[in-house]
Structure 1
Amino acid sequence: MPGENLTRIEAQERAALITVQSYEVTLDLTAGPETFGSETTVHFTATPGSSTFIDAITRTVHSVTLNGVALDPSDVSDGIRIQLDGLAAENTLTVVTDAEYTNTGEGLHRFVDPVDNEVYLYSQFEVPDSRRVFTVFEQPDLKATFAFTVTAPGAWEVISNSATPEPTDAGNGDKTWAFAPTHTISSYITALVAGPYAVVRSELTSSDGRVIPLGLFSRKSLFEYLDTDYLFEKTRQGFEYFEGKFNFPYPFDKYDQMFVPEFNAGAMENAGAVTFTETYVFRSKVTDAIKERRVVTVLHELAHMWFGDLVTMKWWNDLWLNESFAEWASTMATAEATEWTEAWTTFAVMEKSWAYKQDQLPSTHPITATINDLEDVQVNFDGITYAKGGSVLKQLVAWVGRDEFFTGVAAYFQKHQWGNTELNDLMVELEASSGRDLTEWTKLWLETAGVNTLRPEITVDDSGTITGFTVLQTAAADYPTIRPHRLAIGFYDLADGTLVRTHRVEIDVDGEQTDVPSLLGRQRPDLVLLNDDDLAYAKIRLDPASQEVALENLSAIENPLARAIIWGAVWDATRDAETAARDFITLVLGNVATESESTTLRTVLGQVVLAATYYVAEEFRTATIKEVGDALWSLARHAEAGTDEQFQFVKFFAALATTESQLASVAALRDGTAPLDRLLIDTDLAWELLIALVAGGKAGAAEIDAALAADNTATGAQSAAQARAAIPTREGKQAAWSSLIDVDTAPNTIVRVTAAGFLRANDTTLLEPFVDQYFAMLQPVWAARSFSIAEKLVLGLYPAPLANQALVTATRTWLDANPEPLALRRLVIENLAGVERALAAQARDAE
């Protein structure tokens, strides 16, 4: 990665010198499997006589022509940047190159479908990777129009930001598509998707009367599984919701959604041409949690068409605002415009849990993070940028008022359409619409790091009447900021076996102590819940009496969001080593059978597996893992047949199965000798069960090969790679390691799943020989691999399951000896923090 970085100072200096009008990009996708031809003509103005550079990561630069003068590529290009000297007031630059396809999910990704050997391409440009496809001033504030002309095999679909034109014949069975110029946009949201994609088309009418063409695309071998009617329905619901709330018609001319292979993220908001991971094409049964998450993702990317694409951040320090706004807006739209009405419960359980975890790492940072360069922003696609930011926006909406918030946002879109902004531009509009001064709020919430903890302090008299009610606020020692919170306090009482809310008050909490006089004189309820309805971003604790009631009656709370808040509070206390891990496990196993929300169930089951394998004291761990596995199997057998709950209990049971009896149950499920009523062992579930058997030493290479022969697909290849890496032998682990470190040919998805299989070890001593290998590979891998691959290796191969002091010592030794690069150190520090937290939890569990 050396040489590919770009600093904020460089970007500011370049933006002060030039203004870009347009790009004309010509791509030839018929040149073979490794490279494609790329010719770019850029029109831009500049300070006369100035010098700057343009970005172009290439294999070969054939020619560079500036204002009619040919420059020697060997003099001006290093394969990453092209130096431009002696600029005129008006400039035309033409660069002809050969660019490289990738298999890392960055730039122009090339994939060959093993089912039919068809080639599929798609672009992924955020953060700095349009420069891998064409020559470009790669920074978000140098907006321009982009006109793409693409030559490709004639049978392909070719999709970009503008509507796809009728192609012309290019000979040899190829065709050329000349796209109209885009609107004025940033380079990172331009797009190119090409290949024999299957497509279904529809349309909708925008609020301004325009007919907006819609398209849904996927690979031919997956298209039968694409539920197009449902996806079009969610898209239409999102359009109607956002156009109404934003008071601004959809800003682009068409809206294509493409499900593409080997995608690194959930989706990407390319203007009018959104790409999604094709794991959202459900070829096998998935949990309701995944179904809901897909809807949130569809609406998240649609929200970006306004917030991010129409109005774009000036620099990446405001990346959080793009992502946080889309996260908040998509959750709101999911809850109010679709059938997934409990989306805020999902947000509380999943997003806020991620945020609280990220905010307690040593690498935590303010929401408005300092982004000095591209490496900074790459590692800041994190729980602060997405989940904490979204949580804080929810708090801001409560602070200024929902209607006032939408009024301010609508004014922001009107004023800054097609431009670039900074945070203050939005705050100005929200202050105007709400009448509240947000200066102090911005400072406390956006410019400081860390999460506060809120606890109730309650006194009552002999009759149970409340005589004192105070909310206590604390902060971590390293991040001592005390913040204002808008939150609700709920009173819950047991009635006919159900905990029901009987009273609610909404207040402003500020300072270390906030008295709540409106609650004085009321009868103390069975349970007091701070942050009811989850308005605030803060960890909460229950008072002792409420905690006792909650632990005994959690499943009796009828409100799913209230349950989620309590699940989260107890989990936070477990992570903070205030509650013993085995006590948390007891709570889960005693209450989870009746949990109705799929994402809550999925999250809590993941937490109980983590607690059993990492947080339980070593002397109790084997017995606890057996206990949890047996309990999950019992829950699966007694769950209602064919339900999401039954399906989830089976999946998590397979993930934890270790004993002879448990593995025999897994085998019997897979081979059909002991089925569960209405549980279909489809292709993907069969792979999960096989991976469990491999990890348990009950299946091996022969069974993996047979399964892959029966499922010779991209997903099958990924599952097979994960299974092979889970083989519980020294040789099996070494083979998995070598396939990722000794060679650099595995595509991004194979890297990810192989790492997951490598770390799956019922006997964690198998990982001990790899501690030294891990630290030896860090610097070479970081220097040689792309960011996406390097990050997957640094995070995915860290032998965290060891969770012992020896790993802590080895990690600290490496950190002491390696002060650079900072982005790599951050990832290693986060790895270390997870192990240190596990050791603290183990010590608490041993008490």
Structure 2
Amino acid sequence: MLGLGMYFYKSKPPSNQTLCNYVPPLMLDKNDKQSDCLTQREAEIRSQRVSNVSYKLGLAFRKEETFYGQITIKFTMNNSQNSQEPLFLDYKGISIKDLLINYEPIDPYEVYQGDRIIFPKDSLNLGEENVVSLLFHSKYVNDGEGAHKFIDKDDSSIYVFTQFETFYCHKVFPCFDQPDIRASMALTTVSPKDWIIISNGKENGFIKPQDPEFDEYKSLVNQDLLDSFSEEFYIQTYNETPRITPYIFSFFCGPFECIQEDAEIPGREDPMTFRLFMRRSLKKDALRVKDMFLTTAIRGIHWYSDFFGYNYPYEKYDQIICPEFEHYAMENLTAVAFAELYLNRGKEITEYDQIRTIYVVLHELCHHWFGNLVTMTWWNDLWLNESFATFVAYLCYAGDPVLGEIFKNNPNLWIRVNLEKEVGYVEDNFSTNHPILNEVSSTDTAFDMFNGISYGKGCGFLQQLLHLVGYETFSEATKIYFKKFEWKNTKLDDFLDCLDEANDKNPGKIYTDKISSWCKTFLTTKGVNIIQGELKDNKFTLTQTPSPHSDGLRHQSLDIYFFRANLVSETRPILTSSTCPTTSLSHCYPNTTFFLLNHGDHAYIQSYLDPSTLKFLCTNLSNLHGSLTRAIAWRSLQAMVVNGHTGPLVFIECFKNNFMKEEEAILAEIVLKIMNEVIEWFVPEERFEEVTFEIFEILYQGIEKDEGYERLQKMKILYQNYLFMFLQDRDHILKSIEWLEDGYIHDTNGKRIDTAKLGPDHQHLILKAVHKSPYFNSKYKNDLLVQIIGSEKTDIAINLKLSCEALMPFPETKASIWDLITTPSSSLSSYERGAYMEYFFNREASEILQEYFPKYLSHIDKLADCSNKAYVIQFISLVCPKFGISTDFLQTLEENLEKHIHDPLKKSYCRAVRKVLETFQKSQRAREL
């Protein structure tokens, strides 16, 4: 299977073979090379030597397991101090043929090493244009890394889509696969007649065999590619792209359906077409959310063009919703990919879902400036892409009046920003944390940068930066940046210089020092600091403490929210110091008793509640004014539990006293997500069933409430969506089966609640609860599954079957699934394998699973030598048990980790294992409190 190690030829290809029927003999040696990667040093040397790159690419897509291509690459080879280093193309495919370098034939066997095509030194012309052309043969993948192939079992349609970030473009065609070697791309495709092909350039229309110009277009394509088709095919060309980085090139193939809308955008006389593509079986689902994609993109372009002072510079904007997409969304130039989760299939869309979808659309659109127009030079500056796209997307959402009017949820938008930052806090509390600007030695560790630091912490940094310099200065800095660096690559100092220039131009600037100096202290140090306060004798003292994995104190501006029992309040600003841990305020509001830290959420900092405020909020949190204020209080309590500052049952008690009084749906949903995490990881095992029972009852009582105003109806939908996540008790399961048969939730008197109809999501959660329960035999479970999904063949139905199978508490079932999930080369896609992995360890099968705890440890140890990184990370993160963790288990896991910790080729693996180990340790400490 492609991607499991380094392939190499054992013999030369026969000279009379064509590309289409020639597949060279391959041998896989897993231990020969841990993974194929490009080091930062290699990338730096190559970028010095190569410039003025262009690709002319032809791709022949088939409905088989492989596809073919031809490519002509032009580039200038520059003289440099590293001129003696070998120059190479990245390519990890099946085979190459007809290699010409400057029109001279080169034996592919002599130069192709399975992941690189190394140019003979005497074949290139120094200081001149060089031309390289070849034919290649590549393979579709099922792990999302390259050209992913998906078969829709509902109608047997085939779809193909790409994911090239960080280092997967060369799995499809030969290229210089690094961010700072930008190139224009001219594409021609050959494809089955029933497929639509979308790419970065605007398509010029399919040419069919009966068209008079067909023979002319055939001449653009090598005959070997055309010979690979046994059915009728169409040819299509696309407008050449601007000079882009390889990882944002893309293509999408299949019988897609399309929804489109024309709209005027700044700087353009004619309207531009905005298109939303989806597989044809899901068009009805896409129609529900089309405004969240199309209207948001149109409004986003208007706002970004104004804020950045740079009009949208591309000729189209497509959004493609892809099955089995692993990375939520990807900013491919003018052809953005989205996971199907944003269709919200099978459920009523909540405010949380709406904000999440609109934000993601704005995030990927923002990348067309931060990331696509200007790209980071190497992966250590990923924050220049992701941190900005994260934070500025929220600024756009909050600042565009049309979006605010259409979707009417801006008051709660900053709660979602707070959630974004929480991902950074989580990452920063592991010993594996790193600065926002982090050293990335190779592409093998580059993907590790796609974490809560680059997104959440980077978002928090920019939020504090905006608080310090002001809106106008922040906007002016981006205007300078895009004008200066359009179509170029940048590093940290490039943006900071623009920021200083913008700050100096502001006569009323808020921050008078050189702002770049402060930025560097934030960006180049790791960790999050903890703040606590003390209010005594009308004097307030703030103490800032570095967390266990922090480099030190930080200078930040934040607000303190002082309030009394009657909720009369006052807000006071305060500055933390990078040298002194304490800061004081005197003359607080008279008779103030309580306070909240970081009011307004301007700073990136974790706060704890003081004892008196904690006691008061345990029964009064829901009465605090402002949804963001309440969100910060919940987050403070969460941090205290996760960091072992207070026990999880304190959080449970606060939830029971306050949750049902919360009227903001998005905050209630976030609190439910926190509650689920607290129960899964931190509540003592002996209290697990009791607590889940109580939460189920609380939500059920909320669903039973009499009909009321619109806000209450939104809350009841939310309660219903989360009710079955806490379905553990036998009586609750039996009751839910009755509801399942009727299609509605019943009240305590057994009467149907007409507003509580069970949707597919609810049905599936009930089915999972039944399948993991030991109270029902396998026949009953299977019959119930068939009763609910029947002969449905959708991917959701298939994954439901896999999940239910994994949950079954039977020894033979667990044994067969264990064999599947511990085999990296199985035919399962990563999406299907994930369904098995996520539900393998379940509490109801704890006795059966005892033998798998040591097996889990043993398999993780073996994964240190597995080069299928996607599988390794998936197994480590999904299979890990959330219960039954003993001291011996932790000790063995730590010993296994120590064996590999000093191997530079195993950094990503060790990082993933370390995070799981520390999660277990935190969980154990919390349960002992």
Q: Determine helix, strand or coil for the equivalent of 2:757.
A: coil
1:824 matched to 2:909: yes
Cα deviation, 1:625-668, whole Å, max 9, x if unaligned, reads 43333334334434868834333333433223222211112212
1:730 alignment partner in structure 2 = 811
1:35 matched to 2:66: yes
1:148 alignment partner in structure 2 = 187
Q: Determine helix, strand or coil for the equivalent of 2:766.
A: helix
Distance 1:628 1:45, change over 3 A: same
Q: Determine helix, strand or coil for the equivalent of 2:380.
A: helix
Contact 1:167 1:176 survives alignment (8 Å): yes
Q: Distance in 2 between matches of 1:766 and 1:568?
A: 37
Q: Determine helix, strand or coil for the equivalent of 2:280.
A: coil
1:282 alignment partner in structure 2 = 344
1:792 matched to 2:831: no
Q: Determine helix, strand or coil for the equivalent of 1:746.
A: coil
Q: Determine helix, strand or coil for the equivalent of 1:342.
A: helix
Structure 1 runs not aligned, ≥5 long: 461-465
Instruction: Report the TM-score when normalising by structure 1.
Output: 0.94
Distance 1:531 1:632, change over 3 A: same
Cα deviation, 1:234-284, whole Å, max 9, x if unaligned, reads 122211111111111012111001101100011100111101011212332
Q: Distance in 1 between matches of 2:65 and 2:247?
A: 23
How far is the alpha carbon of 1:547 from its aligned partner?
2.2
Q: Distance in 1 between matches of 2:896 and 2:706?
A: 48
Q: Distance in 1 between matches of 2:790 and 2:113?
A: 45
* Identity rate, percent: 26
Q: Of 207, 211, 214, which residue of structure 1 is paired with 2:274?
A: 214
Which amino acid in structure 2 is aligned with residue 830 of structure 1? Answer: K
2:118 alignment partner in structure 1 = 83
Q: Of 63, 74, 77, which residue of structure 2 is paired with 1:46?
A: 77
Contact 2:382 2:454 survives alignment (8 Å): yes
Distance 1:760 1:350, change over 3 A: farther
Which amino acid in structure 2 is aligned with residue 386 of structure 1? Answer: Y
1:812 matched to 2:894: yes
Q: Determine helix, strand or coil for the equivalent of 1:300.
A: helix
> Pairwise mapping of residues 286-685 of structure 1 onto structure 2 (< 5 A)?
286-337=349-400, 338=403, 339-435=408-504, 436-460=513-537, 466=538, 468-495=539-566, 499=567, 502-510=569-577, 511-517=579-585, 519-520=586-587, 522-638=589-705, 643-672=713-742, 674=746, 675-685=752-762
Cα deviation, 1:31-52, whole Å, max 9, x if unaligned, reads x421000211110111467531
Distance 1:512 1:208, change over 3 A: same
Distance 1:780 1:803, change over 3 A: closer
Which amino acid in structure 1 is aligned with residue 204 of structure 2? Answer: P
Greater mean alpha carbon deviation, residues 686-695 or residues 742-751 = 742-751
Distance 1:676 1:765, change over 3 A: farther
Q: Distance in 2 between matches of 1:388 and 1:651?
A: 30
How far is the alpha carbon of 1:342 from its aligned partner?
3.4
Distance 1:243 1:98, change over 3 A: same
How far is the alpha carbon of 1:516 from its aligned partner?
4.6
Which amino acid in structure 1 is aligned with residue 807 of structure 2? Answer: A
2:51 alignment partner in structure 1 = 19
How far is the alpha carbon of 1:834 from its aligned partner?
0.6
Q: Distance in 2 between matches of 1:226 and 1:477?
A: 46
Instruction: Report the TM-score when normalising by structure 2.
Output: 0.86
How far is the alpha carbon of 1:322 from its aligned partner?
0.8
1:463 alignment partner in structure 2 = none
1:185 alignment partner in structure 2 = 244
Distance 1:784 1:71, change over 3 A: farther
Which amino acid in structure 1 is aligned with residue 826 of structure 2? Answer: D
Which amino acid in structure 1 is aligned with residue 67 of structure 2? Answer: F
Distance 1:676 1:727, change over 3 A: farther
How far is the alpha carbon of 1:583 from its aligned partner?
1.2
1:110 alignment partner in structure 2 = 149
Q: Distance in 2 between matches of 1:368 and 1:193?
A: 33
How far is the alpha carbon of 1:405 from its aligned partner?
0.7
Cα deviation, 1:418-440, whole Å, max 9, x if unaligned, reads 00000111111111111341343
Contact 2:720 2:756 survives alignment (8 Å): no
Q: Distance in 2 between matches of 1:367 and 1:734?
A: 42
Q: Distance in 1 between matches of 2:325 and 2:864?
A: 21
Which amino acid in structure 2 is aligned with residue 277 of structure 1? Answer: A
Distance 1:594 1:64, change over 3 A: farther
Q: Distance in 1 between matches of 2:416 and 2:484?
A: 31
Q: Determine helix, strand or coil for the equivalent of 1:216.
A: strand
Which amino acid in structure 2 is aligned with residue 317 of structure 1? Answer: N
Cα deviation, 1:446-483, whole Å, max 9, x if unaligned, reads 111111011222222xxxxx2x2222111124424100
Q: Distance in 1 between matches of 2:837 and 2:706?
A: 33
Q: Of 251, 257, 270, which residue of structure 2 is paired with 1:198?
A: 257
Contact 1:55 1:136 survives alignment (8 Å): yes
Distance 1:489 1:639, change over 3 A: farther
Q: Distance in 2 between matches of 1:475 and 1:76?
A: 53
Q: Distance in 2 between matches of 1:209 and 1:268?
A: 26
Q: Distance in 2 between matches of 1:281 and 1:514?
A: 48
Q: Determine helix, strand or coil for the equivalent of 1:152.
A: strand
Distance 1:476 1:725, change over 3 A: same
Q: Distance in 1 between matches of 2:303 and 2:563?
A: 34
Greater mean alpha carbon deviation, residues 686-695 or residues 635-644 = 635-644
Q: Determine helix, strand or coil for the equivalent of 2:804.
A: helix
Q: How many pairs align? A: 832
How far is the alpha carbon of 1:233 from its aligned partner?
1.5
Greater mean alpha carbon deviation, residues 47-56 or residues 83-92 = 47-56
Q: Distance in 2 between matches of 1:805 and 1:240?
A: 57
Greater mean alpha carbon deviation, residues 746-755 or residues 828-837 = 746-755
Contact 2:703 2:756 survives alignment (8 Å): no
How far is the alpha carbon of 1:186 from its aligned partner?
0.2
